[in-house]
Structure 1
Amino acid sequence: MLLAVGAAWAAPPDGVSSVRFDAGSRVFRMDAAGVTYAFGVNDRQELQTLYWGGRLQESDGFVAAKAGHGVASFEAPANATQQEFSGWGEGLYSEPALKVSFADGNRDLVLHYVSHEVERDGVVVTLKDISRDVFVELHYSMDASTGVLGRSAVILNRTKAPVMIEQAAAASWNLPVGSDYRLRYLSGRWAAEWTLNEQKIAPGKTVLESRRGSTGHQNSPWFAIERGDAKDEDTGEVWFGALAWSGSWSISVEQDQLRQVRVTGGFNPFDFGYRLAPGERLTTPVFYGGYSQDGIDGASRLLHRFEVTRILPQAPHPRPRPVLYNSWEATGFAVNEAGQVALAEKAASIGVERFVMDDGWFGQRKNDHAGLGDWYVNKQKFPNGLKPLIDKVHGLGMDFGLWVEPEMVNPDSDLYRKHPEWVLNFPGRPHTELRNQLVLNLARSDVRDYVLGFLDDLLKQNDIAFLKWDYNRNWAEPGWDAAATEDQKKVYVTYVENLYGILRELRARHPKVEIESCSGGGGRVDLGIMLLTDEVWTSDNTDPFDRLTIQDGFSYAYTPGVMMAWVTDSPNWVNQRTTSLEYRFLSSMQGGLGVGANLGTWSPEDFAVAKEMIAAYKEVRETVQHGDLYRLISPEGGSEASATESVSVDKRQAVVFAFLHSSQKGYPFPTVKLRGLDAAGQYRLRPIHGAKAEAAPEVASGASWMSRGLDVVLRGDFQAAGFVLEEASR
C-alpha cells in the first residue's frame, strides 16, 4: 500500500498533529510525534486501513486502497479487507464493529463512505448503509506530542422506524499482516489486581471483557501487542490501546484465516440492546490507540504522557497528589470527632497534607449492614456536624477529605424504605445483596438528581477538598423496569452517562474539589473515569511486597501520577507478613503516597522515620508522579529483586527504588543500570534514609550511571533502598 511518490504531503508545523486527505487516491493520512496512521476509501467504497506504524517521510505516499479478496471463490471480500469500521453484512465472519436489527427483520448492514470533514487535529468521516438511512460518523483525533489516536463512532438513525443496535464498537484497529505477534493484557480479582499476562496471538479470538456493569477487576480495558520476540522491554514494535469506558466493555483480539490481526473494542455486546428511535443517535466510548518503536516500556511512557497531558482533569499540568492520611484502618466504622481529631494531630506531625475520614460518619452507619443512601451527618458521632473537625484539620495545616459511596444503598436505610424501586432489579425476582447492599439505578433521572443533589449539598455545607468515591460491588439483576421493555437494556449506557454527568457537574460547581475513583480496590480504573477523577485507588491489598507486582502491572496501562499507595500496619492483614516501616514507605513512594496505619499504635521511632520519609517524598514526587517511568528489574515471575526509576521531564532529577525479597547464598543485589538520563549531564547521588551503594561515586555522568550502573547494598529479607540523582551541571 505504501508508495514513494515525492512531495505528496506537506510537513506539519512543530507540536501540531497533521491530518491530510489526498483527493486523487482518496487516502487520509495522520502524522504526529513518531507515528503515521493512514486509511482510505477503497474500490468497494469501504473505509480501509492502510498503515499504522512509525512516522513516514513526507515524501512517502500511498496508492489508492483496494479491497482484499479471499483465497477461495466462496469467501466474501469483506473477510479479506481490513476495514476501519465494519457493519455486519455481506457475509462478514470476523468481529463486526456494528450489528443492528431493523424493524422489518432485516439485519444486513453494509457501510460505505459518504463524506468527510478535516479538522485541526483529526477528521470526521461519515459512512452510510447502502440502502437505508443509518449513518455512522467516525471521529479521529491524534495527539501531537505522543501520536496517540482517539477514535469513536456516532450512530444515527435517519430512517422512519426504530433500529435496534445489538453490538457497537468504538473502533477496529488493524495491524500489519503477520503471525509473530504477542498480546499483553491485565487481569485480576479483589486484592490481586493488575496481573500482567502474555500470550502468542494465534488463529482465533481472545476476548477481554467486563460484564459487571462497571470496568471490573477481572480485566482492564487495555491491550499491548508486540511484534517479534523482543529480548527486553526497550526494543521492538508495540501497538497498544485503552478504552475510555467505565461500564460493561469488550475488546476482542482476533487473527483470521488470512493472518490479519484486528482489535475491536467498545460496549460489551453481551445482554446489549440499544433502541434508536428515528432521529436519535448513540455515541460510543473513545478507543485510544498508540504505537511505539521502543518496546513495551516506551509504549507505557507514551501512554503515561498522554494521560497526564490530555486525560486527567487538571491536564496538561495536573497538581501533584498530596500526601494523604486515611482513617479507615485505624477506626473502621467507629468514627467520632474526638478520635478523628487525635488521628489528625498525629498525621499533621509527620507532614501529611490531606486528612480523609472514611466510612461511618453518616446515617445509622455502625457497620456495613445499614445507612448507605442516608447522607446526613450522624449526630451521635458528630453532635455539631462536621465543621469542628474540618476546622481542626485546617488549623493543623491540612485539607479535609471524606469517604462517600453514592451509587449504593443498604436495604436497612431510610432511602430504600422510601424508594425500593430505585435499585437495579427485575420485578418479581430476588434482589441479590452483596456486601449487604444494592446498586442504585443511576440510569433513572430521579436517582441521578438525588445523587447529584446530596453531593452538591454536602460540598456546599462543608469545606471539603476531596471525595473518596467508593463503589463496592458489581451489578446483579440489571433491570430498569421503569423504562419501556424495548429500552430497558439501555441501562448499560445511560447509567454510565449519568455517572459521568454527575461528576462533570460536581466539578463545574466545585472546581477545587478533587475526587478519587475507588471500587473495592482497583475495580473501576479506565480512561473514562480518569477524565473526571484525579486519582484512583489501586488495590485494597496494601501488603508492600504484593504491591510491587500490583503496581508494576498497573504501570503498563496507567500513569503513576494517579496510583495511590498507602503505608499501613505490619503485620499486614492480607498475608500476615511483617515488614519494616522503611520498606513500606519505599514501596508506596512509587506512586501517590498515603498513610493508612493506626497512628495510635506507633512508637516515637515510627513517627521519626515517617516524618523523614514523607519529607524525602515531597522532594521527588513531581518526578515520581509525572516523570518517565523505567522498569529496571521486574518483580514478575517470582523475582527476588526489583527496581524502578523515574526521571523528570527535564531530566534534571531521577529517583531509584530497589527491593529485595530474600538474600540467597550471599549473592549481591544485581547491578542497577539506570536509563533515560542526559548522557552528558553530571548527576549527584543522594541516598534516601541511609540507603547504601557499593563504591558509588558522589557525582558521575549520566552515561556512567547508565553504563556502569549502581551497586545497591541489600541483604536480608524484605529489604529496600531509595536514591535520588540530581543534575549537578549541564
Structure 2
Amino acid sequence: MAIIIKDNVFTLQTQNSTYQMKADSKGVLLHTYYGRKTDETDYSYMISMADRGFSGNLYEAREDRTYSLDFLPQEFPVRGSGDYRISCMHADLGTGVRDCLLFFHDYRIWHGKYELEGLPAMFASEEEAVDTLEIILKDSQEEFYVHLYYGVFEEHDIITRAARVENRTDKEIRLSKVLSACLDMDHDGMDMIHFFGRHAGEREMERVPLFHGVTELRSTRGTSSHQHNPFVILADKTTSEEMGACFGFSLLYSGGFHMHAEVDQFHQTRLVMGIDDSVFTWSLQPGEYFVTPELAMAYSGQGLSGLSHCYHNGFQKNLIRSAWKDKRRPILVNNWEATYFDFNAEKLLDIAKEAAELELDMLVLDDGWFGKRDDDYSGLGDWYVNEEKLGCSLKELADNVNELGLMFGLWFEPEMISEDSNLYRSHPEWAMVVPGRKPIRGRSQLVLDMSREDVRHYIKERLFAILDSANIQYVKWDMNRSVAAAYSALLPRERQGELRHRYVLGLYEVMEAMLKRYPDLLLEGCSGGGGRYDAGMLYYAPQIWCSDNTDAIERLSIHYGTSFGYPMSSVSAHVSVCPNHQNGRVTPFKTRGICAMQGTFGYELDLSKMTEEEKEEAREQVRTFKERYRLFQFGNYYRITSPLENRDFTAWEYADKDGKEAYMGVVYTDLHGNPAAQSVKFQGLLPEGNYVMQKDNKPAGTYTGAALMNGGILLPVPVENYDSCQIYIRLEE
C-alpha cells in the first residue's frame, strides 16, 4: 500500500514522489514534506520553532511561545486559529464570528479511490495501485468535523485532495469559504505558471515570480472561464521543460474558482485552491455536510514535460470515462462557419456528400435547428425541431446523413434561455434575474436556474426527446455567456450565496443523467470555445472545443498553454476557411491541417467551396490522422519550442510510450532573407534504435535515436508565409 502510517506520521508514496503530514503533540495536522520520493522519515524535524513576535499561541501550548499556527505548515488552515495567512475555511459555528480551531481526531485508509457525491473525481479499478487516506479533524469546542481525503495514484504521481465538512451540532453553521486543499512549503523564490486569456484567446501561458504577499487568480463568472484557468504550477526558478522541480494543481470543477498563493513573513510559500468564495455562503443545518470539489496535485522532478505527462496519462486513464476514451474520435465537419444560421437540409446534405467523399466520419449540425432561431436574439430554451426550416424531420436528416456513411451530431445550449422564446414567456421565473431589476444580458440571452429541479427536469425531458428521435451520436454542449447578478426564486434571501455552486451541481446532474441514458454518446464540452475547459468537464466530456478562434497561428499558443495540464486528446481543433473568420489571416491549407492534428481533428468550413487542390490535401490529412491517431491520442506530448519565445517556428512532438515511433509538427511563424539553419531535437526515443524518417510523407533517411535526440535534424527552409512541415519516424523493421 502506498500509505505508510507510524506514530501519527502519514507518508504517501507515488512512483516518484513523497507527500507527508503529521498530527503533532498538540493535535495539529502539520504538513512536513512534498517532493522527490524519499523514505518515511519524519520530516517534522525540519520545522523551525521560535518565539515569533506578534504570532499568537494556541491555548494548548501553555507557556510555550515558540508554538504558533501563524508560521507552522498545516494541511487545512482555518480562520480563527491565530494563523493570519490565507486559509481554506471561514466558518461561523453559531457565535456570529468566523472562528474555528481544528485538531486531529481519527483516520482510516482503504484500497481504492474515494468518491464525491454529485461531483467529478478521478477513479480507479480494483486492480490499480490506488489507495485512499481519510483524516478526520474536529473543532476544539463543537461537534464540527472536517474529513480530508487523499487519493494516491502511484503510477501517475498524482495525489487528489477533497474535504467534507460535517455539522453534528444541534444548530446552524454558516460557511463563507471552503476550499479544497492547501500546500505549505518552507521556501520562497518560486515561480507561478498560470494560464490567462479571453474569448478567442484562451490559456496563454505566463510565468511570474511569487512575491512577499498574496497572489490571486479567480473566476467570478460562474464558469472556470476564458480569463483564468483552474490549473496552476509552482516551479523552482531553474525549472525548464526537461529539468527541475515543479508542482501542479488542477481543480476538477467547472464553476468559479479561487486560487491564492502567499509568501509570508518567514519566506514560506502557501497555496490554497477551491470554489470561488467572493459571494459564496452555505448553510449547514444539523446533520448536513458539504463536499468540496477535488484538487489533483502532481509533482515532477523532470521538469514541466514530466509534470504534463502526469496529468495527460492520469486524466486519460483515470478521469475520462467516455466510451470514446480509447477510440479514435470521429473526424467531423461542423456547419457553423460554413452556413451560420442560414441552412436547410439540402445545404447540410451537400456538405455531408462532400464529407463522405473526403472520407470524414461525421456531420455536426450547429446552432439554429430549433424553435424560432435565425439569429442570436431568440429561440434558446425552445428545444423543438424546426422542421419547416430544415424541410424535413431530424430523423430524416440523420438517416440521410447515415446513408452517406457518416455519423450525425447536434449542437445544444441547454443552460440558456432567450427572452424571445416560448419557454421564457411561460416561465420567466426560471431565468436567473434579480427581482425588480433589469437583467444582465450576455450574447442577448439569459441563464436558466440550474439549481431548480423543475428546470433540470425540463432540460432532461427535451434533451432526451430530441436524442430519442434520431440517430444522434455526438452532442456539442455549449454555454455562451458568463453568470452575472444571479438570483434564484426558490432560495431564501440568506441562502442566495449557495446559488452558483448549486448551479454547477445541477449542470453535473443533467450531464450525468444524459450519459447514463446514452452511454455511447460522444459529448463535447464548449463555452464560447474554451471558457469551461477544466478537469471537471473532462469527467463528462472527453473532448472540449478549445477556442472559437480557429486561426491556425493563434491556435499555436492556445494549444501550447492547454497542453501543460490537459491531454491533447481532449483538444477539439478544426481546419477552417481563409481568410480566417476571426482575424482575417491567410494560412496555407496544409498548415491549418497540421495545427488541427494536435487535437481531435476536424473541419469547420464549406467543403463544397474547397479547391480540388485543397480537397486532395484534405484527403491526405484524413489518411495521416487515421493512420497515426494512436500516436496523437495516446503518445507522450512534448513542447519542443514555445510560440511565446521562438519567433521563427513552433514545434511539438508525439512520441510513442515505448519509443518505437514519433511525429513532429512544425509551423513557421516568421520568414527571413538569407535565413540561418534551423534544427530541432526529438525526445522520448530509444537511443540505440534506428529510425526511418519521412518529411511530409516523403523518405528522408535513417538515423539513430541517439542522433535524433542529441544532434537533432535540420528543418527544411520555408517557402511561403506560415509554411509548415510534418516529420514522422519509426523504428526500422
1:403 to 400, 411, 423: 411
Aligned to 2:105: 114
Letter matched to residue 31 of structure 2: T
Contact 1:255 1:262 in 2 (8 A): yes
Aligned to 1:717: 721
Aligned to 2:198: 189
Letter matched to residue 82 of structure 1: P
1:172 to 182, 187, 190: 182
Aligned to 1:651: 659
1:502 to 499, 510, 514: 510
Residue 496 of structure 2 corresponds to residue 488 of structure 1: yes
1:88 to 67, 79, 87: 79
Separation of aligned partners in 2, 1:74 and 1:504: 48
Contact 1:162 1:278 in 2 (8 A): yes
Separation of aligned partners in 1, 2:703 and 2:627: 21
Residue 81 of structure 2 corresponds to residue 71 of structure 1: no
Contact 1:40 1:65 in 2 (8 A): no
Query: Mapping of 1:80-479 within 5 angstroms?
Result: 80-120=71-111, 121-175=131-185, 177-230=186-239, 232-314=240-322, 318-479=326-487
Residue 597 of structure 2 corresponds to residue 558 of structure 1: no
Question: Which string of whole-angstrom CA distances, capped at 9 and with x for unpartnered residues, describes residues 350-405 of structure 1?
Answer: 12112101011111111111110000110212343111221122122221100000
Question: Which string of whole-angstrom CA distances, capped at 9 and with x for unpartnered residues, describes residues 45-96 of structure 1?
Answer: 11111111111146x4546897955522544411111110012113221111
Aligned to 1:27: 9
Contact 1:172 1:264 in 2 (8 A): yes
Give how far 1:482 is off. 1.7
Contact 1:100 1:107 in 2 (8 A): yes
Aligned to 1:727: 731
Q: Tell me whether 576-585 or 660-669 shows the greater mean CA deviation.
A: 660-669
Separation of aligned partners in 1, 2:46 and 2:459: 51
Letter matched to residue 472 of structure 1: N
Give how far 1:341 is off. 0.5
Separation of aligned partners in 2, 1:561 and 1:684: 26
Letter matched to residue 610 of structure 2: W
Give the 3-state SS of the residue equivalent to 2:540 in structure 1: coil
Give the 3-state SS of the residue equivalent to 1:37 in structure 2: strand
1:530 to 530, 538, 548: 538
Separation of aligned partners in 1, 2:553 and 2:509: 38
Letter matched to residue 360 of structure 1: G
Separation of aligned partners in 1, 2:730 and 2:471: 38
Contact 1:373 1:406 in 2 (8 A): yes
Give the 3-state SS of the residue equivalent to 1:380 in structure 2: helix
Contact 2:324 2:520 in 1 (8 A): no
Separation of aligned partners in 2, 1:64 and 1:276: 38
Aligned to 1:8: none
Contact 1:36 1:56 in 2 (8 A): yes
Give the 3-state SS of the residue equivalent to 1:78 in structure 2: coil
Question: Which string of whole-angstrom CA distances, capped at 9 and with x for unpartnered residues, describes residues 445-492 of structure 1?
Answer: 111111111112211221111000000000111111221222221111
Contact 2:387 2:394 in 1 (8 A): no
1:632 to 633, 640, 665: 640
Give how far 1:430 is off. 1.0
Contact 2:188 2:267 in 1 (8 A): yes
Aligned to 1:7: none
Letter matched to residue 52 of structure 2: V
Contact 2:417 2:446 in 1 (8 A): yes
Give how far 1:675 is off. 0.6
Aligned to 2:613: 605
Any unmatched runs of 5+ in structure 1? 1-11, 13-17
Separation of aligned partners in 1, 2:627 and 2:50: 60
Separation of aligned partners in 2, 1:195 and 1:159: 46
Any unmatched runs of 5+ in structure 2? 58-67, 112-130
Contact 1:68 1:78 in 2 (8 A): no
Give how far 1:625 is off. 2.0
Give the 3-state SS of the residue equivalent to 2:714 in structure 1: coil
Separation of aligned partners in 2, 1:275 and 1:65: 39
Question: Which string of whole-angstrom CA distances, capped at 9 and with x for unpartnered residues, describes residues 253-305 of structure 1?
Answer: 11111111111011111011111111111100001111001111211111111
Give the 3-state SS of the residue equivalent to 2:723 in structure 1: strand
Separation of aligned partners in 1, 2:436 and 2:550: 41
Residues 684/425 of structure 1: CA separation in 2 closer, same or farther (3 Å cut): same
Contact 1:181 1:225 in 2 (8 A): yes
Give the 3-state SS of the residue equivalent to 2:318 in structure 1: helix
Aligned to 1:47: 29
Separation of aligned partners in 2, 1:112 and 1:354: 57
Separation of aligned partners in 2, 1:334 and 1:34: 55
1:36 to 11, 15, 18: 18
TM score, norm. by length of structure 1? 0.94
Separation of aligned partners in 1, 2:213 and 2:375: 48
Separation of aligned partners in 2, 1:37 and 1:713: 47
Give the 3-state SS of the residue equivalent to 2:420 in structure 1: coil
Residues 167/315 of structure 1: CA separation in 2 closer, same or farther (3 Å cut): farther
Separation of aligned partners in 2, 1:603 and 1:506: 40
Question: Which string of whole-angstrom CA distances, capped at 9 and with x for unpartnered residues, describes residues 288-343 of structure 1?
Answer: 11100111121111111111111112389532322111000111011211110000
Separation of aligned partners in 2, 1:19 and 1:185: 31
Separation of aligned partners in 1, 2:50 and 2:166: 30
Question: Which string of whole-angstrom CA distances, capped at 9 and with x for unpartnered residues, describes residues 581-623 of structure 1?
Answer: 1111111111110100121211111111100111011111221
Residues 575/66 of structure 1: CA separation in 2 closer, same or farther (3 Å cut): closer
Q: CA RMSD in A?
A: 1.7
Contact 2:322 2:520 in 1 (8 A): no
Letter matched to residue 728 of structure 2: V
Give the 3-state SS of the residue equivalent to 1:364 in structure 2: coil
Give the 3-state SS of the residue equivalent to 1:489 in structure 2: helix
Contact 1:245 1:528 in 2 (8 A): yes
Aligned to 1:5: none
Letter matched to residue 712 of structure 1: L
Aligned to 2:692: 684
